């Protein structure tokens, strides 16, 4: 029986990936379909992907598959053929190929069996995730953006919306998709007569959100086919105006794909125009936030002087401070974190 997990540490695996000379392609895909034995499905797919030297993150559940992977350029067609033939539901599966990609998105393959392929918090036996809203292709998206009776709803987290979105799109200000679903229903009650257009990164969240809106009595529900990734790709291929502004946040080492040259966000420390997400270098924090190059230098890639101080301590003291500490949600949220971050910066050094 072959080993179905990684035997080499992350540091070595990342070094190997960076040393590769062959180009890689970053691809994301998902599919809602019934999987009777998720573990066996995971094990067989793992072996097939490892044989093609695929890296990435794949979630398997009884409701389907959700994947973000990188594949050597020479193996792309083989990987595509393997997926199409792996299960009837995956035949002609849409593959969202990254736009702004250096191929350095992943360095290891991790595949997990989960209860859901995207955590939604739905506990309603009558909900049918297959009854989704109408798909919109790139040209239809642009037309809807000019329709005064259409409301675009961004079904991504606040930190994703902050660096890029469609003009006038409604933000659902929550940290998680499970919190967004009921919030979106409440926020749109007065607009049930409108055309509700949901969108997200690659389609998986907005597709389920469209089904949830229909389940909750909304009738004119749409979602962007393939999400922002597919929309931007098709619009560029077809010579259409790309109406998405800024960056599309992605959940890999890149932390963002540049869709337009617009920079619509600001450094969380000094307020300068910037849309570069980073994680605080302090192992006891790792807060995800936006930081400009000047602040990265001033705060030594940390989110605050407090973390700078802790990072400068001997390793054993850093570990002692971290022991038993609850970091909570490690994502910068303006309403929750801005005051604390600002107060942590000594007054004479504030920009």
pTM: 0.76
The reply to whether 303 belongs to the active site is: no
The tokens describing 54, both together, are: 């695929």
**Which residues, listed in sequence order, are joined to residue 69 by a DSSP beta bridge?**
27, 56
How many angstroms separate the CA atoms of 39 and 319, rounded? Answer: 36
Question: Range with the lowest mean pLDDT among 97-106, 175-184, 207-216?
Answer: 97-106
Q: Are residues 103 and 139 in contact, defined by beta-carbon separation less than 8 angstroms?
A: no
How many angstroms separate the CA atoms of 351 and 338, rounded? Answer: 14
pLDDT at 99: 75
* Residue 126 or residue 199, greater confidence: 199
pLDDT tens digits, residue range 249-276?
887 677 788 999 999 999 999 999 999 9
Domains annotated for the chain, with CATH where assigned, are 10-113 (3.30.70.100), 134-246 (3.40.250.10), 277-349 (no CATH)
Instruction: Please state, as a whole number, how many other Cβ atoms lie within 10 Å of the Cβ of residue 24.
Output: 25
The residue from 200, 267, 292, 302 that is catalytic is 200
| Res. 23 pLDDT band, cuts 50 70 90 | confident
pLDDT tens digits, residue range 294-322?
999 999 999 999 999 999 999 988 888 88
Q: Are residues 192 and 61 in contact, defined by beta-carbon separation less than 8 angstroms?
A: no
How many angstroms separate the CA atoms of 92 and 85, rounded? Answer: 9
Q: Reduce the secondary structure of 8-69 to three states and give it as a string.
A: CCHHHHHHHHHHCCCCEEEEEEEEECCCCCHHHHHHHHHHHHHCCCCEEEEEEECCEEEEEE
CA 28-84-117 angle, to 5 degrees, is 45
């Amino acid at each position: 029986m072959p080993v179905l997990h990684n035997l080499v540490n992350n540091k070595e695996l990342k070094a190997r990936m960076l040393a590769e000379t062959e180009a890689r392609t970053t691809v994301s895909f998902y599919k809602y379909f019934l999987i009777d034995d998720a573990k066996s499905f995971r094990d067989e797919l793992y072996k097939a992907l490892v044989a093609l030297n695929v890296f990435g993150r794949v979630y398997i559940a009884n409701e389907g598959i959700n994947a973000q992977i990188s594949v050597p350029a020479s193996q792309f067609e083989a990987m595509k053929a393997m997926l199409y033939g792996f299960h009837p539901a995956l035949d002609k599966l849409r593959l969202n190929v990254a736009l702004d990609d250096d191929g350095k998105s992943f360095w290891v393959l991790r595949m997990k069996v989960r209860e859901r392929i995207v955590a939604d918090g739905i506990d309603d036996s009558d909900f049918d995730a297959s009854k989704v809203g109408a798909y919109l292709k790139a040209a239809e998206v642009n037309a809807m953006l000019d329709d005064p009776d259409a409301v675009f709803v961004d079904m991504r987290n606040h930190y994703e919306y902050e660096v890029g979105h469609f003009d006038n799109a409604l933000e659902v200000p929550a940290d998680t998709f499970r919190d967004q679903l009921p919030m979106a229903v409440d926020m749109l009650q007065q607009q049930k007569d409108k055309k509700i257009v949901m969108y997200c990164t690659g389609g998986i969240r907005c597709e389920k959100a469209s089904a949830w809106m229909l389940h909750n009595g909304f009738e004119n529900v749409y979602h962007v086919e393939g999400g922002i990734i597919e929309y931007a790709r098709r619009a560029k291929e077809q010579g259409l105006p790309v109406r998405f502004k800024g960056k599309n946040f992605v959940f890999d080492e890149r932390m963002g794909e540049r869709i337009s040259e617009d920079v619509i966000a600001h450094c969380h420390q000094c307020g300068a125009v910037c849309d570069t997400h980073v994680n605080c270098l302090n192992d006891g924090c790792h807060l995800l936030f936006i930081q400009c190059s000047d602040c990265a230098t001033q705060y030594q890639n940390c989110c605050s002087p407090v973390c700078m101080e802790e990072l400068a301590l001997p390793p054993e003291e850093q570990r002692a401070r971290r022991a038993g500490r609850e970091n909570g949600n490690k994502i910068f949220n303006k309403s929750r974190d801005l005051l604390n971050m600002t107060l942590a910066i000594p007054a004479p050094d504030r920009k």
